Amino acid sequence: MKSRAVLVLIPVLLAVVAGGCRSARDWRKRADRRAEAYLSAAQRGATGETEPIAIETPADTLRRRLLLDQGLPTHDPASFGIRDLPANRYWDPATRLEPGAEPADAAFAPGDGPLRIGLADAVRIAAHNSREFQSHKESLYSAALALDLEGKAFRTVFSGLLSAAATSSPGGEDGDRESSHGEEAKPGFSRQFENGAQLTGAIAFNLAGMLTGDRATAWGSVADLGVSIPLLRGAGTLVNRESLTQAERDLVYAVREFEQYKRDFVVEVEGAYLSLVLARRMRANEDDNYRRVMHSTRRSRRMADASRMSKAAFDQSYQSELAARTSWIGACQGYEAELESFKLRLGLPPDARVEPREEDLEALQRQAEGMLAAEGTESTEATEEPAAKEGSVGAEEAIPPPESVDEGELKERTDRAIALAFERRLDVRTGLDRIEDAQRHLAIAEDALRAEVTLGGSARVGEAATASMGREGRDHGEFRMRDATYGATLKVDLPLDRTAESVSYRNALVAVERAVRDYQALEDGLKRTIRQDMRALSLTAERLRIQYRAVGLAERRVRNQDLLLEAGRADMTDVLDAQAALVSAQNALYSAITSHREDELRLQADLGVLDAAADGAWGESDLAGLGILPARERTVPD
């Protein structure tokens, strides 16, 4: 009997010991596997698709390549990345990190010259280098790890305890010392079931005596098994699984939140990029204006020397040149500041040599010209003076009001946009789910008001050695199933005092009302956001039409004033005013182009129709095809 028991217990012991000998890397891989499985399931449930969320720093990054290739100053190896940290007594990169993956932005090789990037490049670079974006991915991953921790409560958990003790005490009259030792192994397990039942078990036996076969060593084996089953309060899946249920839902909420964050992130990066190319174009406009004003000043000097212009007019021209130079310097420095902010937004060093592609702004300009041409707006080259109307404009003449989201075609399109947002926005679903969470918490709080009735049982078989320690004078413990001891318990806790539970129940009922109000606030806030987006897009579209005509008028005015000045029929004030109006109109036009583009993307993000991936890839929807914008305002670039 004892031999068979040894044959059974030794494999159990070896399994327990093997399970406790995992390395830190093994445990890390196990955590990653479970987190990725939970995360994929949550993504599939929230969006119907899955995508990898990489939180491991690649072997190389664009920031690192810029620092090295462009020879930028650094203070510490930490500037290059976690893989460049030197080893010390706390940190060993070889054991703490996995082999680095190939960087997803490896195609961006800066070299010695500046790195030229476009709009799509900017979003991809930011997705792999932005510290803010990385923090959001890590928060999502932490939510998956938290779910794994909650899931542990309903998995069979094994434990292994090995203990050894030795004593030495004075002997008898002969003065010899008596020594003794004892060893014990106690593997066990526990299991919590979702209905509230708990099962525990353990086996304790002498280790050294079994493994060595030392007959002089007495040994024993004891097996314990216990079970506890709640019958009223605390019984059922709803109550006992609550922590795991909430962790599962929190992970789904985190996935939904991250989906919307990715859309907002694309809009923010594009807004930063458009602000950068706008600052660059404004710098070019100020440069052109400065050159025009310098040319006018040189011409006014020649005319003043020839007595064809007064000295006061020349001084005015020279003052305008100084003012133009000030504006030009401010535009140059403003572009540098905008470029630094843009690089920081992407997670790149502010002193790295990075330049935007001017072609992106030109493409937006062509797109805007195509939209305006489709609706019959004159181009800047073909702008003509409006036909004169008879009579004067009086108070009785009707002026058509601007578009309103509360009437007409814009209201119909706004209502369609709001309905689409309710359908596509994931945070709307989260708001409804949180109402269900509050209702579930209320049911659990109500369960706590009931009486507690718990049924328990236990079984014990085997014996320990007759002496606690020592190699002689002990008898072996017996392991006989027929001599097992069984027991049963019944615990009843009547609900005589449930003050704390009643307070929790009342607060849970209040929380349901609060969750409903929060959803109402979410719904109303989303309506307002969409209405604001539609108004903003309508406004920037009208600004675009106006500035498109204004630039044509300003260009023609400059040409006419130059001709009149040459003919002696205009003074320098008119020329300078025309030049100032031209640069102002040009800046306003490009500002309207970038604002209209940003408002388009913001509307798509707020509607939930902008596709954005964790690797920086993104795609737009055709809002005109969805009936949100007029057909002439096609928002998806060719």
Residue 414: Cβ within 10 Å count: 22
Q: What is the mean pLDDT of residues 464-473?
A: 47
How much is the pLDDT for 507? Answer: 95
pLDDT at residue 178 in the model:
64
**Other CB atoms within 10 A of residue 447 CB:** 18
Tokens 């706390």 belong to residue: 90
Question: 348 near 342, Cβ under 8 Å?
Answer: no
Q: Taking the CB of residue 623, how many other CB atoms lie within 10 A of it?
A: 24
Q: Is the pLDDT of residue 480 over 80?
A: no
Spatial separation of the C-alpha atoms in residues 145 and 156, rounded to whole Å: 18
Among 268, 196, 263, smallest CA distance to 236 is for: 196
The rounded distance, in Å, linking the Cα atoms of 618 and 124 is 9
Q: How confident is the model at residue 19 (pLDDT cuts 50, 70, 90)?
A: low
Which tokens belong to 415?
Answer: 């209502």
Round to whole Å and give the CA distance between 235 and 213: 48
Q: CA angle 328-333-334, nearest 5°?
A: 90
Mean pLDDT over 497-524 rounds to 94
Residue 139 has pLDDT above 70, yes or no: yes
Q: What is the pLDDT of residue 110?
A: 67
Average pLDDT, the chain: 81
Mean pLDDT of the 72-99 span? 86
Cα separation of 117 and 110, whole Å?
10
Q: Which residues contact 55 (CB under 8 A, 6 or more apart)?
A: 134, 137, 138, 141
Q: Are 273 and 356 in contact (CB under 8 A)?
A: yes
Helix H or strand E encompassing 218: none
CB atoms within 10 A of CB 505: 20
Residue 177 banded pLDDT, cuts 50, 70, 90: low
Distance between the two ends of the chain, CA-based, in angstroms? Answer: 83
Predicted confidence (pLDDT) at residue 317 exceeds the cutoff of 60 = yes
71 DSSP 8-state letter? T
Note the pLDDT of residue 360: 81
What does the angle CA 93 – CA 95 – CA 97 come to, to the nearest 5 degrees?
A: 60
Dist. CA 6–CA 205, nearest whole Å? 10
Q: Which of 101-110, 188-197, 463-472, 484-493 has the lowest mean pLDDT?
A: 463-472
pLDDT (average), residues 37-48: 93
One-character DSSP codes across 507-571:
HHHHHHHHHHHHHHHHHHHHHHHHHHHHHHHHHHHHHHHHHHHHHHHHHHHHHHHHHHHHTT-S-
Chain segment 198-226, per-residue pLDDT in tens? 888 877 666 555 555 444 444 456 677 88
The SS3 assignment for 455 reads strand
Mean pLDDT of 224-251: 88
Rounded to two decimals, what is the model's pTM? 0.81
Which of 232-241, 497-506, 629-638 is the least confident region? 629-638
Q: Give CA–CA dist 529/478, Å, rounded.
A: 77
How many CA within 13 A on the CB side of residue 20? 12
Kind of pairing, strands 198-206 and 221-230?
Answer: antiparallel
Position 619 pLDDT exceeds 80: yes
Lowest mean per-residue pLDDT among 223-232, 372-381, 383-392:
383-392
Q: CA-based Rg of the chain, rounded to a whole angstrom?
A: 39
For residue 464, what pLDDT band results from cuts at 50, 70 and 90? low
Whats the size of the chain, residue-wise? 638
Q: pLDDT above 70 covers what percent of the chain?
A: 79
Q: Give the pLDDT band of residue 388 (cuts 50, 70, 90).
A: very low
Q: 496 in helix, strand or coil?
A: coil
Residue 316 has pLDDT above 70, yes or no: yes
105 phi, psi to nearest 5 deg? -105, 30
Compute the distance between CA of residue 235 and CA of residue 455 in angstroms, rounded to an integer. 11
- Interval 230-249 mean pLDDT: 88
Q: Among the listed ranges 4-18, 104-118, 333-347, which one has the minimum average pLDDT value?
A: 4-18
**DSSP helix/strand/coil, 225:** strand
Q: What is the pLDDT of residue 404?
A: 85
> Who contacts 22 (Cβ-Cβ below 8 Å, separation ≥6)?
30
Query: Which pLDDT score is estimated for 98?
Result: 78
pLDDT (tens digit per residue) in 557-582: 888 888 887 777 777 788 888 888 88
Contact status, residue 204 vs residue 465, Cβ threshold 8 Å:
no
DSSP state of 469: S
**Does residue 194 register a pLDDT over 70?**
yes
Mean pLDDT, residues 334-346: 93
Query: Residue 535's closest CA among 385, 373, 424, 404?
Result: 404
Residue ranges of the alpha helices (H) in 425-461?
A: 426-447
* Per-residue pLDDT reduced to its tens digit, 277-314: 999 989 998 999 899 889 888 888 888 888 777 788 78
Contacts of 306 (CB under 8 A, 6+ apart): none
Least confident of 398-412, 473-487, 528-542: 473-487
- The whole-angstrom separation of Cα 199 and Cα 158 is 12
Confidence of residue 605 (pLDDT cuts 50, 70, 90): very high
- Which pLDDT belongs to residue 558? 87
Q: Which amino acid, residue 203?
A: I
Which pLDDT belongs to residue 338?
A: 93
DSSP for 25-41, please give it.
HHHHHHHHHHHHHHHHH
454 forms bridges with which residues in the sheet? 230, 491
Cα–Cα distances (Å) from 545 to 255, 278, 563, 630, 638, in that order, read: 41, 18, 28, 15, 21
